[in-house]
Structure 1
Amino acid sequence: MSPFLLTRTLPEDATDAALRVDVLKGLTSSPKTLPPKWFYDARGSELFEQITELPEYYPTRAEREILVGRASEIAAVTGARTLVELGSGSSEKTRYVIDALTGLHTYVPVDVSESALTQAGQALVEERPGLDVHALIADFTGGLTLPDTPGPRLVAFLGGTIGNLLPAERAAFLATVRALLAPGDALLLGTDLVKDEKVLVQAYDDAAGVTAAFNKNVLAVINRELGADFDPGDFDHVARWDPRTEWIEMRLRSRVAQTVKVPALDLVVEFAAGEEMRTEVSAKFRRDGVRAELSTAGLELAHWWTDSEERFALSLSVAR
């Protein structure tokens, strides 16, 4: 069996420390905010998997359609011997690309979740004899050092997750990715596209209320990890399209005037009735905008593929 290696580049207590910093900063800001990465404990990940199956939530299906239809073309264009996936999770969608890359030597999944990396990585080495899997427990937004693997490399960042980064954060992230690439390497990037407002809002505010539960789960995480006394029932889920910035904002709106205590931070937080706290930004993109952001980072857009309804795009760019 091919080797499965797991390397930790985050300290054991890094997640707890980052949560404390983010919650303290976010709850003392005006307006209040929380980063979307804290949705994804075990319960949050389960809820998100449910979201991807909802009729309103098109991005997962649209991206899968592109991957199924274009994986062989992606493989032919890149000839990658190393595939690096940022925020790999279950590695499910990436398998279409892995299967198509006949000369693939090493797969490098990168995620903050050790359990997700171990489960997906061990399954891959059992299913695909000859494939080396070198998993990295790392926060790819904070800089990244890749293992020494054969080129050319293909770095994949799928799911439209780049839309969760604010513009300055996106610029820093793309510059970091560019620094990982050598001549002949490429970036495969998933981006959700600007479309009808009703379609967008419904994707983040489904009729079954699964996204609402997912949004409120961040409060359960803070309660469990930091001893806070949030009552999720005192907050309403809000999804709003901002046409100026061309992004969806998910928020939690306080139903009543209330006081929340966060003992681990020695923090007392006041919420006014109707006050909203932003929990996620999900930017939507246009082709020219993606090209411009890639270009600023030193990447040249080489290929652009969309699903049949032009809801979602995969782009392939190369280092300049």
Structure 2
Amino acid sequence: MRLALAERPHRIAPKFFYDAAGSALFDRICELPEYYPTRTELALLGRHAGEMAALIGPQADVVEFGAGSATKIRLLLSALDRPRRFVPIDISAEHLHAAARALQRDHPGLAVQPLAADFTKPFTLPAPAGPAGARRVGFFPGSSIGNFAHGEALTFLRQAAMLLRGGGLLVGVDLVKDPSVLHAAYNDAAGVTAAFNRNLLVRANHELGTDFDPAQFAHYAFYEPRLQRIEMHLVSRRAQTVRLAGEPFVLAEGETLHTENSHKFTVDGFRRLARQAGFEPGPVWCDERQHFSVHWLQAPR
């Protein structure tokens, strides 16, 4: 947070949204009528899980990046042939372990081994619960790949290609579309996304001892068509001073803290990115309105 306040323009990585309260707020966002990505991706998974499972193959070792509530993996697990293990990875440990316990209760024969970690940094997977040599497959739903800048996305995909060598990656990707649809999705009428955005300040107060007044920051989200991305900011409503460990940081009226980018892709554009990272792009599933896509990427051997 100190770096975010010291540098200009102010920016912070969206992974810091996800404490227990932030994760719960995001779960509420996923249920909003304006927020099309979750229900569209769930529909694609429900409709095509059998085809996806056939590509993944039997007795797979499944790794989910940014697992959250582990809702979407349930559709895939139900279609898979005797999966050996599921490793959900998420930065929000409390939320992750609660979701893993619920999943384990519903799938008693599956080895569920949650890993609280930042998957954008090097990490070590837990040792396999069964025989070594299982085909390892990644699952990265929700278009979280869009939160990365181009270079970051390429780095993540290259690391995933090595981790999943001989297997593959199933990834959800949000598509370029009418900006009015995107604007509504990130500016819901109930204000849940605004609360999610401001919760980052609440978390900083609780964990770092800052003295943000969240009410003095306005939620601001817009689509930048030249960069094909949603930008999300917190806008200072007035000139104010924020303190961190006694150090003052002055924010002018109208100055923003840039909290998230959510890049949108074309199908061909994402396939080019995946190929550049070392994957071989395979089948793609899209909804009828071409709002969202799920891609199968074959990892190198």
Report the TM-score, using the length of structure 2 for normalisation: 0.94
Q: Distance in 1 between matches of 2:188 and 2:101?
A: 34
Kept in 2: contact 1:82–1:150 (CA 8 A) = no
Q: Distance in 2 between matches of 1:209 and 1:215?
A: 10
- Give the letter aligned to residue 163 of structure 1: G
Q: Distance in 1 between matches of 2:219 and 2:101?
A: 37
**What is the aligned partner in structure 2 of residue 101 from structure 1?**
80
Kept in 2: contact 1:248–1:281 (CA 8 A) = yes
SS of equivalent to 1:230: coil
Structure 1 position 171, deviation (Å): 1.1
The yes-or-no answer on 1:63 pairing with 2:46 is no
- Give the letter aligned to residue 37 of structure 2: P
Residues 138-197 of structure 1 show CA distances to partners (whole Å, capped at 9, x for unaligned) of 2110023333454222100111111111111111111110111222x0100111111001
**What is the aligned partner in structure 2 of residue 295 from structure 1?**
275
SS of equivalent to 2:172: strand
Q: 1:284 aligns with which of 252, 257, 264?
A: 264
**What is the aligned partner in structure 1 of residue 206 from structure 2?**
224
**What is the aligned partner in structure 2 of residue 112 from structure 1?**
91
Residues 73-92 of structure 1 show CA distances to partners (whole Å, capped at 9, x for unaligned) of 11112204211111112211
Structure 1 position 54, deviation (Å): 1.1
**What is the aligned partner in structure 2 of residue 189 from structure 1?**
171
Supply the RMSD in Å over aligned alpha carbons. 1.4
Any stretches of 5+ residues in structure 2 without a counterpart? Answer: none
Kept in 2: contact 1:193–1:311 (CA 8 A) = yes
Q: 2:112 aligns with which of 133, 147, 157?
A: 133
Q: Distance in 1 between matches of 2:237 and 2:100?
A: 43
**What is the aligned partner in structure 2 of residue 161 from structure 1?**
144
Q: Percent identity?
A: 45
SS of equivalent to 1:215: helix
- Number of equivalences: 295
**What is the aligned partner in structure 2 of residue 18 from structure 1?**
none
**What is the aligned partner in structure 2 of residue 12 from structure 1?**
none
The yes-or-no answer on 1:87 pairing with 2:70 is no
Structure 1 position 216, deviation (Å): 0.9
**What is the aligned partner in structure 1 of residue 235 from structure 2?**
253
Q: Distance in 1 between matches of 2:281 and 2:55?
A: 13
Q: Distance in 2 between matches of 1:57 and 1:213?
A: 15
Going from structure 1 to structure 2, the CA distance change for 1:122 and 1:42 (only over 3 Å counts) comes to closer
Q: 1:240 aligns with which of 212, 215, 222?
A: 222
The yes-or-no answer on 1:273 pairing with 2:253 is yes
- Give the letter aligned to residue 56 of structure 1: E
Any stretches of 5+ residues in structure 1 without a counterpart? Answer: 1-22
Q: Distance in 2 between matches of 1:211 and 1:30?
A: 24
SS of equivalent to 1:142: coil
Q: Which moved more, 1:291-300 or 1:124-133?
A: 124-133
Going from structure 1 to structure 2, the CA distance change for 1:206 and 1:125 (only over 3 Å counts) comes to closer
Report the TM-score, using the length of structure 1 for normalisation: 0.88
Q: Distance in 2 between matches of 1:150 and 1:95?
A: 24
Kept in 2: contact 1:79–1:103 (CA 8 A) = no
Q: Distance in 2 between matches of 1:117 and 1:57?
A: 22
Structure 1 position 96, deviation (Å): 0.6
Structure 1 position 274, deviation (Å): 1.1
